[in-house]
Structure 1
Amino acid sequence: MLSLLAATAAAEPIQWAELGLKPGIDLGFFTLRYYSLAYLGGLVLGFWHLSRMMKAPGSPLAQRHFDDLFFYCTLGVILGGRFGYVVFYKPELFGTLDMFKLWEGGMSFHGGVIGVLLAITWVAWRGGLNWLRVCDYLAVNVPFGMLLGRLANFINGELYGRPTDVSWAMVFPTDPMQVGRHPSQLYQAGLEGLLLLVIMLPLFWKTRARYRPGLLVGVFTVGVAGARFINEFFREPDSYLVHVVTDTGLSRGQWLSLPMIAVGLLVIGYALTRPPVGGAKAPAPQAA
């Protein structure tokens, strides 16, 4: 901490290596990586909160649906995230054994979203549930995992930002240029995780948004895609995708975020122009 303050005062880049961070917990025979813990923690915390949401009035989910969602959405996040990474970012891995090496890193946010949507579709179809309402309830909890995942990226010293001379710029050990960069992982944790929690939790608990199918998931989709679009201006593009920024002016992540924003706005519009489901009306005042 003292070195952090000293570097800031001297207007020199902060050395990430001097922060004392480690990529995981050394168990002797195995290193338990914080990125894995972040995935696990996000799932556990999200589904703990979902279990509380199910007990609130208006829930479309029963316990059996909750159990199915936990299982299939976990598969959707892992398999969809990895498959999306291979398709969108590393197509040369497709059809090789390396595409299954999850422990070597490489997960796609957009692929994870697709995997979760497929899982929700399967559970909703089997249980005869309103698909949009199931999406609403899950969307409220996704920012838990986003927050922990981005913090794990920072702890790992990976996915750092573009070169900058701001006073909080950091030099990351794996950076071949060894220059000060935006700690964009923290920006992402703040916008994609913390800010969305500040928006989504009160929207569910303090308003009647839960009774308008699609409103919660629409707000989440616009919020997370918009945050991703903004953060990509600070994040260093992967070396094999620099040409996308050079050729188009936007990163691959930004191009993938634009249709998500459009879809989210359409879903919000749909939700606000439809009557709320049963239970949304406030109780009538008692006669004096």
Structure 2
Amino acid sequence: MDTLVYWWQHLPSRMDPVLFSVGGFAIRWYGLMYIIAFAVVYLLTRYRISNEKLPYSTSFTGDALTWAMVGVLVGGRLGYLLFYSFPEFISNPLGSIIPLNFSGGCTFSGIAGMSYHGGVIGVIIAIWLFARSRSTGFLTTIDLFIPALPLGYLFGRLGNFINGELYGRVTDAAVGMYFPLAPGSGLRHPSQLYEAFFEGVVLFLLLWSVKQRSPYPGFLSGLYLFGYGFVRFFIEYVREPDAHLGFVLMGLSMGQVLCVAMMIAGAGILWYCRTLPGPKK
């Protein structure tokens, strides 16, 4: 038993974020997890279209997810800069967005920092633009992908865990782990795994079980926004706040403040969409 506990607690130090390298170019697990996440959402959505006999073409899913991918990257990065690193954005707007370093040539500097909440906003805007370009309903389009979204998100959090980032607060519980990138030497909650389970697996099971009983367009989107905000709000109590921000409002982290906004938005969507004219199930 002691051997198993020791293995668990020291697991983060045994994981290499780099999958393999070719010359000076490294393939990282985190990037691979993004690809897997989009593939999972793509395959599950295609399954929905086929199994539920939904009126979408074979290219619709891939085209919509291409727009969504751009929304995730742009929204996630801008959201991080605006919500978590605004001074960096103000001091160097272009350099903080474009992952290139022009000092002494032109090199890829990488993207350091992505915001989930910013990514959600980016996806919403991207799908809205896509729906307009295809003359399809925005709410029905985004509801098509929502049930599969949490399972894709699961892999993003596993990528955070392998990177050893977004770790939890210090704990005495046996479930704690030693994260090499964390300050100090204490055990910390593996909050990435908590998020992977509740925001990924649990929300997926909930949304997938009710997807065919959705009473009106927008129901699944509102339920997802509220559900994600709800579980993430409580997980934030064991997740380490960003060091440069700490607690920003009444003892709440920035993540919790954004989750409250997310729950309000989700509840608002559920109420508003219910009042729209049209057929209800």
Instruction: Name the TM-score class by shorter chain.
Output: 0.7 to 0.9
Q: Partners in 1 of 2:157 and 2:73 — Cα distance?
A: 16
TM-score (ref. length: structure 2): 0.87
**1:1-288 alignment, distance < 5 Å:** 3-6=3-6, 14-17=9-12, 20-29=14-23, 30-57=25-52, 59=54, 61-94=56-89, 95-101=93-99, 103-204=110-211, 207-209=212-214, 212-244=216-248, 248-272=250-274, 277=279
Q: Give the C-alpha shift of residue 269 in structure 1.
A: 3.0
Partner Cα separation in structure 1 for residue 3 and residue 27 of structure 2? 28
- Kindly, what percent of the aligned residue pairs are identical? 35
Deviations 1:101-120 (Å, cap 9, x if unpaired)? Answer: 27343110011111101111
Q: Is the 8 A contact 1:200 1:220 kept in 2?
A: yes
Match of residue 285 from structure 1:
none
- Cα distance in 1 for partners of 2:268, 2:165 equals 34
Report SS of the residue matched to 1:164: coil
The separation in 1 between residues aligned to 2:273 and 2:96, in whole angstroms, is: 42
Per-residue deviation, residues 149-183 of structure 1 (Å, max 9, x unmatched)? 11111111111001111111111111221111111
**Size of the alignment, in residue pairs?**
268
**Which stretches in structure 1 are left out of the alignment for 5+ residues?**
9-13, 281-288
* 2: CA distance, partners of 1:274 / 1:17: 49
Note the aligned Cα RMSD (angstroms): 2.3
Q: Is the 8 A contact 1:213 1:276 kept in 2?
A: no
Post-superposition CA distance 1:124-165 (Å, at most 9, x none): 112221111112112112112210011111111111001111
CA pair 46-7 structure 1, distance change in 2 beyond 3 A:
closer
State whether residues 171 and 178 of structure 1, in contact with CA within 8 Å, keep that contact through their aligned partners in structure 2. yes
**2:160–2:192 Cα contact (<8 Å) kept:** yes
Deviation for aligned residue 1:224: 0.9
Distance 2:175 2:55 in 1: 46
